[in-house]
Each structure stands twice: as C-alpha cells, then as structure tokens.
Amino acid sequence: HQHAYFDAYVLHRDISAGNILITCEGKGLLIDWDLSIKLFDLNTGKKLSSARRPDRTGTWQFMSAALLQANEKYNELEDDQESCLHVLTWTALRLTKHTI
C-alpha cells in the first residue's frame, strides 16, 4: 500500500480482511484494486480527480470513522491507514484467545 501511494500515487480505498492475502513466504499481498483511484499523473504531476466517488467506496466494517461520519469527505491516505488498523484489530481479536 505504501509503495502504491508514494511511488505510483494510487489510493486503494477498500482495505479489508478479504482483500489481504498472506503468501507462502509470510508476506502480505493487497488485492482487489478495482475501487482504487489514481491521484496524480506521474508525467505532468497534475491532480487527476478527487479520491471520492458519488457513492461510498470500501467495506464499511473497516472504513475510517471520518469517512463514515461525513458523506462529503474525500478518501485520503489516513483513511486507508485507519482501515489497516481495523483489519489488524479484527484479525487479532478473531484469531487469538481472549476474554472479550
């Protein structure tokens, strides 16, 4: 995700537990890029479009609180990072023994 954003200026916008695969080598692989958006043209540096579509994008269980609270908010890097935190928390609670 970091390389896609900082090297190619692409924002995923749908980070969820179902969109992360773990390879045989133990590395993570982010899949399902069909809701992603290219933020800048690499050749000209011009902004291509906003990071929001008229309809809400993403898996709501893992979306950032800010996106869920404000319909007019644009998707930003911080929203994808918060989605990663939600996936980590959900996975840890689901797959480890706890008393919750």
Report pLDDT for 77.
93
Collect all residues with Cβ–Cβ distance below 8 Å to 30 and sequence separation of at least 6: 1, 4, 12, 15, 19, 20
- Along the 100 residues of the chain, how does pLDDT read in single tens digits? 989 999 988 999 999 999 999 999 999 999 999 999 888 877 787 777 665 555 667 899 999 999 999 888 888 999 999 999 999 999 999 999 988 7
CATH number at residue 46: 1.10.510.10
If we measure between CA atoms, which residue out of 31, 44, 40, 32 comes closest to residue 10?
A: 40
- Note whether residue 100 is domain-resident: no
| C-alpha span between 33 and 35 (Å, rounded) | 6
* Count of structural domains within the chain: 1
pLDDT at 55: 61
Contact 38, 46 (CB under 8 A): no
Residue 79 lies in a domain: yes
- Asked if the structure places residue 65 within a domain, the reply is yes
pLDDT value of position 42? 73
Enclosing domain of residue 6: 1-95
**The pLDDT value given to residue 51:** 56
pLDDT at residue number 17: 96
